[in-house]
Amino acid sequence: MISVRNTRSDVIHAAGRLFAERGYHGTSMRDLGKELGLLGSSLYSHVESKQDLLVEVVEEGARLFEAVAEQARATPGTARDRLAALVAGHVNVVLDNVNVARTFLNEARMLDAEHRERIVEARDHYEGVFRSVLADGVGDGSFRSDIDPKTSSIYILSVLNALERWYDPAGPLDRDELIGDLTTFLITGIG
Amino acid sequence: MISVRNTRSDVIHAAGRLFAERGYHGTSMRDLGKELGLLGSSLYSHVESKQDLLVEVVEEGARLFEAVAEQARATPGTARDRLAALVAGHVNVVLDNVNVARTFLNEARMLDAEHRERIVEARDHYEGVFRSVLADGVGDGSFRSDIDPKTSSIYILSVLNALERWYDPAGPLDRDELIGDLTTFLITGIG
DNA sequence: CCTACCGATCGGTAGG
DNA sequence: CCTACCGATCGGTAGG
């Protein structure tokens, strides 16, 4: 009595899985059908096109990260507290939605021009939140006064986004240790 | 009198360009032919298969990074000096070979099992050099004694590898400034 | 490096 | 969600 019929949501999530594993162009509609136990052609009763699937997955990613930004901005306390919220929130999104995060980070460039632009804007906005938290933190003494908020936010996001590439939830480092270790690294460096 | 005939090296470099821009599966042999001013079928007088091209590009990447590791290991002085050599060397490889670096970082997973394993080993070895420099640096006082060389090396490589995604050689930040800013961030953090 | 192909697979549609 | 397709494109080959 397992799974009688697939929903649109099932299709989108399976697409996220395959796009994350094999890439958008490495995934055929027939591959995706097989993953769901149906034919490639049957997918078109759930979505209009393959591109449509990529749009859905990538935009889900954008929404998840945007929610992190909003929640962090609403966090009371110092800029350092808000940065901690950004870091923890970002880690949680990546670890709880690896496939969506992977597709968002690696396959968004395969989007058609129109959708790609919207995602670039969303990404810029998200990075802007990091930047302004860092700038605030320079003002309130949370961070060093000689950092450049622009490059620093990119460095921080580089470390956070790369999690998708190496973090193993079954490995020795649990989520809280990861967040702690990461935060220490970002704030104190290795020196 | 420009370019009469293409060499195997021309083909490989053009392949790197397209693999970097559109991904391995997003690039057809006919696309690549067009890039070089010939037909897709003509490429088979230079290479045996499309996979062959990916192997060549990715293995060139592996060699470039390996050379950085060797040179850094031979650098006299403290572990901090050797880390500086790794950082500068890695940055130079990425900035001087964006297409190769991109393909190495993003498309190696499209390799067939056999070649992929070799690349994973090469990558593990490279990361191991970072790890041992960090461990040495904990011993000689270059770095904090409470860092974990394993996660720290991953964080550092995360920042270095992400350069491919955002650094603009035509932007305001020149190479030396970048290396300096990056090094300060890695060693001192933002706090 | 081209001509002239090959079988396989691609995204997608009509109609049920 | 399936049957039965469609034209286009894919990686690749034989022979020059």
Q: What are B100-124's pLDDT values in tens digits?
A: 999 999 999 999 999 999 999 999 9
Q: Using H for helix, E for strand and C for coil, what is the string for B62-117? A: HHHHHHHHHHHHCCCCCHHHHHHHHHHHHHHHHHHCHHHHHHHHHCHHHCCHHHHH
Is position B135 within any domain? Answer: yes
* pLDDT tens per residue, range A159-190: 999 999 999 999 999 999 999 999 999 999 99
Instruction: Retrieve residue A42's tokens.
Output: 């049957």
Cross-chain Cβ contact A159/B161 below 8 Å: no
Using the structure block, give the residue that is written with the tokens 């994350």.
A20
Cα B42–chain centre separation:
29
Judge whether residue A3 has pLDDT over 70: no
Contact A152/B25, CB-based, under 8 Å? Answer: no
Q: Which residue has the closest alpha carbon to D2 C1'?
A: A42
Q: What CA–CA distance (Å, rounded) separates B57 from B108?
A: 9
Nucleotide nearest to A53 (CA to C1'): C11
Structure tokens at A184: 């220490």
CB A152 within 8 A of CB A86: no
Q: Which residue is nearest to nucleotide D4 (CA to C1')?
A: A41
What's residue B4's pLDDT?
A: 76
**CA distance linking residue B31 with residue A25, whole number of Å:** 15
The pLDDT of B150-164, averaged and rounded, is 98
Please state, in angstroms and rounded to a whole number, the distance separating the CA atoms of residues B148 and A120. Answer: 34
Q: Which nucleotide is nearest to B41 (CA to C1')?
A: D12
A151 in any annotated domain: yes
Please tell me which residue of chain A has the smallest CA distance to B106: A106
Residue A110 within a domain? yes
Average pLDDT over residues A65-91: 98
Residue by residue, DSSP assigns A43-55 as GGGT-S-HHHHHH
Average pLDDT over residues A65-92: 98
Residue of A nearest to B21 (CA): A109
Residue A89: per-residue pLDDT: 98
Query: Considering only CB atoms, which chain B residues are within 8 Å of A151?
Result: 173, 181, 185
- Kindly state whether B120 is in contact with chain A, defined as any CB-CB distance less than 8 angstroms: no
Can you give the pLDDT at residue A108? 98
pLDDT value at residue A161: 98
Q: Give nucleotides in strand C with any atom < 7 A to a protein C-beta.
A: 1-5, 9-14, 16
Contact A49, A41 (CB under 8 A): no
Per the structure, the count of domains in chain A is 1
- Is pLDDT at B1 greater than 70 in this prediction? no
Whether residue A143 and residue B191 make contact (CB cut-off 8 A), yes or no, is yes
Interchain pair B190, A143: CB under 8 A:
yes
Contacts of A181 in chain B (CB under 8 A): 148, 151
Q: Answer whether residue A148 shows pLDDT above 80.
A: yes
Per CB-CB distance under 8 Å, the chain A contacts of B80 are: 191
- pLDDT of residue B2 exceeding 70, the answer is no
Q: Does A185 touch chain B (CB under 8 A)?
A: yes
Look at residue B90 and tell me if it is in a domain: yes
Pick from B26, B143, B166: CB nearest A190: B143
pLDDT at B153 over 70: yes
The whole-angstrom distance between B2's CA and the closest CA on chain A is 33
Would you tell me which residues 124-143 of chain B have a C-beta closer than 8 angstroms to some C-beta of chain A? 134, 137, 142-143
3-class DSSP string for A99-144: HHHHHHHHHHHHCCHHHHHHHHHHHHHHHHHHHHHHHHHHHCCCCC
What is the token pair recorded at B16?
A: 């790197």
pLDDT, tens only, A24-54: 999 999 999 999 999 999 999 999 999 999 9
Cβ–Cβ under 8 Å, residues A136 and A82: yes
> What Rg do the C-alpha atoms of chain A give, in angstroms?
19
Is B97 a domain residue? yes
What integer pLDDT is reported at residue A4 of this predicted model?
76
Task: Give me the domain span that covers residue B94.
Answer: 53-188
Query: pLDDT of B40-87, one tens digit each?
Result: 999 999 999 999 999 999 999 999 999 999 999 999 999 999 999 999
CATH number for the domain that contains residue A58? 1.10.357.10
A163 domain-assigned: yes
Per-residue pLDDT for A88 more than 60? yes
Backbone phi and psi for residue B169, each to the nearest 5 degrees, phi listed first: -60, -20
**Nearest CA-CA distance, residue B108 and chain A, Å:** 11
Look at residue A30 and tell me if it is in a domain: no
Examine residue B48 and state whether it is found in any structural domain, yes or no. Answer: no
Cβ pairs A/B, distance under 8 A: 98
- pTM for the model stands at 0.96
Q: pLDDT tens digits, residue range A89-118? A: 999 999 999 999 999 999 999 999 999 999
Residue B176 CA to residue B173 CA, distance in Å, equals 8
